[in-house]
Amino acid sequence: MLTNLSVNINKVATLRNARGENTPDVEQVAVDCEAFGADGITIHPRPDERHIRRDDVVKLRPLVKTEFNIEGYPTEEFMDLVLKIKPEQVTLVPDAPDSLTSSAGWDVQAHAEFLTQVVDRLREAGIRSSIFVDTNPENIRMAAKAGADRVELYTKPYADLYPTDPEKAVAPYVEASRTAHKVGLGVNAGHDLNLENLAYFHHHVPYLNEVSIGHALISDALYLGLSETIRRYKEALRN
């Protein structure tokens, strides 16, 4: 099974915003990522617009020719935006507005009614939905009951344990992916995946549709260049 690489370009926007001008050009980077082999572009617009801004979302929509994945907490403002833009995928995350980064998956059972309503609205608009979860099988089964198309597995625990015990680190994700497959969900993964741990994760986790990688990939590109970095990440997903 082929696993797609979606490049999260939030950090490019962070660098641009530091100077208040348009260098680096977020739109051009998105186009270049696709030209260099990325299978999709991911963005996470936050309420404070500290990286991706609302106008970036609008400008990127006609430029992204692969898969456009928009992450975020489904406030009414966020939902209005994605229902207008109509990306191929929306990934629902439980972040507070001031979160530095996504640091946990949904307690899907506790938010089942809310998430079901959100997923229904996305489906009516023809948008694939993905719910950000940990490896708890109950959260995965509840995501299926909520009507989601996919789950995105939060992989920081894997990344943290991988250097000392890769077999133990990946085991919960193998089972989580199998559970998702059994209940009819596609499987995405993301958070702290990098060139050191990605190939092992990909080799062991079945049914993996997509990985979304931003911070590590953009950091690697500072040394390797964007084209070579994307080539290496794609190579890790072929091994």
Helix, strand, or coil here: 207? coil
Euclidean distance between CA atoms 112 and 63, whole angstroms: 34
Catalytic annotation present for 202: no
Euclidean distance between CA atoms 220 and 94, whole angstroms: 28
Catalytic residue among 34, 44, 152, 210: 44
Count of helices and strands (H, E) across the chain: 11, 8
Catalytic residue among 34, 71, 152, 210: 71
Catalytic annotation present for 181: no
Catalytic annotation present for 27: no
Euclidean distance between CA atoms 182 and 159, whole angstroms: 25
CB 51 within 8 A of CB 29: no
Catalytic residue among 34, 51, 152, 191: 191
Tokens found for residue 64: 């992204």
Catalytic residue list:
44, 71, 191
